[in-house]
Copies of this chain bind each other. A is one copy, B any other.
Amino acid sequence: MARKTGSHSEVTGPRIRAAALKLFARHGYAAVSMRQIAREVGVQAGALYLYTPDKQGLLFGLLQDHMTGLLAAWAAEEKPSDPVEHLHHFTRFHIFYHLERPEDVFVSYMELRNLGPENFATIEALRRTYEDKLQAILQDGQDNGQFSLPDAKLATLALIAMLTGVNTWYRDGGRLSREKVEAIYWDMVRKAVAA
């Protein structure tokens, strides 16, 4: 099908979102202007409002897509039935998935407070759903005696904080490969929850 010149709705939308993600990650949501985003894309500021109702909607879309993408990716993984192997699989998945998209992770964590109350509740529910996946694994291993956890909920939060923390320091081409990092973290995770 031929497409009219100057009509780019299917390509401009994603480019706006990519530019917003990049700029929000680098400078923070509140510090980035709609004009900056437009300049990055190569359109005028007014044109942005064809693709988002407002600046807040742009942020919300980024966070929502990140969280639903994360949940969908985990849902698509094959899960071992043994809790220890299941936890290892989760550890690998979490580290690799998050290292693959550092800007999404950074923005999703840093800009939560810039969401309106309703948008915030939506994202929080998604995040909680993800946490529950890990908590179920830990509870499973606790129930069959492979893990020894004083508190499954706290262990969930502690492990996720530890694993997501990799994003704050990891850089491609650094001292350790992703595989090596994963192995080192798995060693600590495994021992931290061991019976």
Chain A residues near B (Cβ < 8 Å):
26-31, 110, 113-114, 150-151, 154-155, 157-162, 164-165, 168-169, 176, 181, 183-185, 187-189, 191-194
- Given contacts A164-B161, A193-B188, are A113 and B28 in contact (CB under 8 A)? yes
Residues of B within 8 A of A29 (CB): 28, 30
**Chain B: CB-nearest residue to A157:** B169
How many copies make up the complex?
2
Q: Which of B26, B28, B150, B161 contacts A161 (CB 8 A)?
A: B161
Residues of B within 8 A of A31 (CB): 30, 114
Residues of B within 8 A of A150 (CB): 183-184, 187
* Nearest Cβ on chain B to A51's Cβ, whole angstroms: 23
* Nearest Cβ on chain B to A21's Cβ, whole angstroms: 15
CA gap between A66 and B110 in the complex, in Å: 20
A154 near B185: Cβ-Cβ < 8 Å = yes
CA gap between A114 and B176 in the complex, in Å: 29
Residues of B within 8 A of A164 (CB): 161
